Structure 1
């Protein structure tokens, strides 16, 4: 990525096209991931690559439409920070939304050799006192 905002476009396109290599290329070799599924915590690009391949490979005929909202980016010389609300929509072969969820994502970026990579990603979904997601509106 030449610019931090490229992350959001590339991630969305990669998910839609089930392009695992393009999505994996967004991340640094030493990435730390705090995710909401399965393990909840992963370190290193090898483990995260396997998670991406497992996710996109499990979709069958479905596509994933990713929508970013409230995107914020803060950039320094070689360190950057981003955050957004992220909606994942599973789209059937008949172009119908079959399920959807909204999360928060926080991203830490590092710049090396004029390329930005995600070094840290934290995904979360707040809940109310009844343990119900409060972003799904």
Structure 2
């Protein structure tokens, strides 16, 4: 099944497009209003769309002229009735206005989605990276 046939992979495509465009409205529209997000940065959890929107606006606003390219690899989906899970590796690359890569990192990403009247919505998201045992440093490259 390709991305065009798989509505869960279409959500990932929407995620990529919204991040590239720095479009907070399109980004948070991918999420359920009661979504719980376990993100990697600074906050233990985001509970509900208002807190996730605030994080998103802060992230996109901090980029100035930079943009972020998101690539998903090894995405696997499981669907049962109106619930779905997808897990993948996500690479985030910040680029300047001319497309030069400034920095990049890899994350592990898991999303739980629920089918709603207006499509599949992310109800839970969890991102992580492993910790190197000897130094307790986060491993940002796969």
Ranges in structure 1 where 5+ consecutive residues have no aligned partner: none
Structure 1 vs Structure 2 CA RMSD: 1.4
Distance in 1, matches of 2:7 and 2:99, equals: 32
| 1:78 maps onto 2:82 in alignment | yes
Distance in 1, matches of 2:26 and 2:72, equals: 18
- For 1:18-33, what aligned pairs fall within 5 Å after superposition? 18-33=22-37
The superposition leaves residues 105-127 of structure 1 with CA deviations (integer Å, 9 ceiling, x where unpaired) of 11000112251100000010002
- Aligned residue for 1:5, secondary structure, equals helix
Residue 98 of structure 1: which of 97, 102, 105 is its match?
102
Alignment: residue pair count: 136
| 1:124 maps onto 2:131 in alignment | no
CA shift, 1:94, in A, is: 2.5
Partner of 2:138: 133
Larger RCO of the pair (alpha carbons < 8 Å, separation 6+): 1
Distance in 2, matches of 1:40 and 1:15, equals: 22
- Aligned residue for 1:21, secondary structure, equals helix
